[in-house]
């Protein structure tokens, strides 16, 4: 896949030198007890709670992949990787972070038949969405559009809407707030221009700058990665399925 073009959005934030992304398919927990064994008690409880096999498969692949990649990066056994999930409210249900100083930043996503993990040396957010039929694109676009964006032509197709959604979701993941902060507070560059953040409004809005890169890891799975910094780093994409398959040899 071609490397994305840099996107300068401002002068003040640190620059990531690389953002590495791994893509993989969901995995049936019943056939991969070795990967289930890598999870901590919090993750295993969440995994057991899923009623739909597809949801469990996405969850296992995303979390096992995260542990394997971060374990390699930090010279830690994957089962020994420790996460801090403290939310702003103090409960352990926030964006996970590695529980050690100077650790790499990461973000994972899962949708449809795809999971992804992004790792960088600055705060990063990754989102992918499975292209599916949406009942009312116009209303959904209105809901996520900022006042400035509502003055432009609205996304009229599912493809256009999902591209906007993945960009904004990736940005919200950078901050760790997710959808607790409304998407309509973000103004993106207009259609046809390179992906960029023009404005982030509202009380407590992050100052940025932020870089933003569009991705298409698989057919019908638009994605975006975003991070803190003035210029997009080199974005590399890797085979996460190979990482998950290789785990068998180490058990």
pLDDT digit string (tens) for 139-175? 999 999 999 999 999 888 899 999 999 999 999 999 8
pTM: 0.87
Q: Are 233 and 120 in contact (CB under 8 A)?
A: yes
Question: Which carries the bigger pLDDT value, residue 136 or residue 16?
Answer: 136
Residue 245 tokens, joined: 């398959």
Domains for the chain: give ranges and CATH numbers. Answer: 18-250 (3.90.470.20)
DSSP assignment of 38-83 equals TS-HHHHHHHHH--SHHHHHHHHHHHHHHHHHHHHHHT--GGG--E
pLDDT digit string (tens) for 190-249? 888 899 999 999 888 898 799 999 999 988 899 999 999 989 999 999 999 999 998 655
Query: How far is 210 from 203, CA to CA, in rounded Å?
Result: 18
Tokens 């991070």 correspond to what residue? 227
pLDDT digit string (tens) for 17-62? 799 999 999 999 999 999 999 999 999 999 999 999 999 999 999 9
Q: Are 143 and 99 in contact (CB under 8 A)?
A: no
Mean pLDDT for 106-131 is 94
Provide the 3-class DSSP secondary structure of residue 227.
strand
């Amino acid at each position: 896949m071609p490397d994305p073009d840099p996107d300068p959005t401002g002068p003040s934030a640190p620059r990531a030198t690389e953002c590495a992304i791994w893509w993989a398919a969901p995995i049936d927990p019943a056939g991969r007890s070795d990967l289930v064994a890598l999870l901590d008690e919090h993750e295993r409880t969440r995994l057991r709670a899923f009623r739909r096999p597809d949801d469990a498969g996405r969850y296992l692949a995303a979390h096992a992949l995260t542990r394997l990649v971060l374990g390699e990066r930090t010279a830690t056994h994957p089962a020994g990787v420790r996460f801090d999930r403290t939310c702003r409210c103090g409960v352990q249900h926030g964006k996970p972070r590695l529980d050690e100083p100077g650790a790499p930043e990461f973000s994972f996503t899962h949708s449809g038949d795809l999971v992804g993990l992004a790792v960088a040396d600055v705060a990063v957010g990754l989102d992918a969405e499975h292209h599916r039929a949406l009942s009312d694109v116009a209303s959904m676009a209105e809901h996520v559009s900022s006042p400035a964006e509502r003055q432009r032509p609205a996304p009229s197709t599912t493809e256009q809407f999902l591209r906007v959604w993945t960009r904004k979701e990736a940005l919200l993941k950078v901050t760790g707030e997710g959808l607790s902060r409304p998407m309509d507070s973000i103004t993106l560059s207009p259609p046809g221009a390179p992906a960029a953040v023009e404005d982030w409004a509202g009380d407590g809005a992050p100052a940025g700058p932020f870089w933003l890169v569009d991705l298409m890891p698989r057919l019908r799975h638009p994605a975006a990665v975003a991070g803190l910094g003035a210029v997009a780093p080199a974005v590399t994409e890797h085979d996460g399925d190979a990482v998950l398959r290789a785990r068998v040899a180490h058990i």
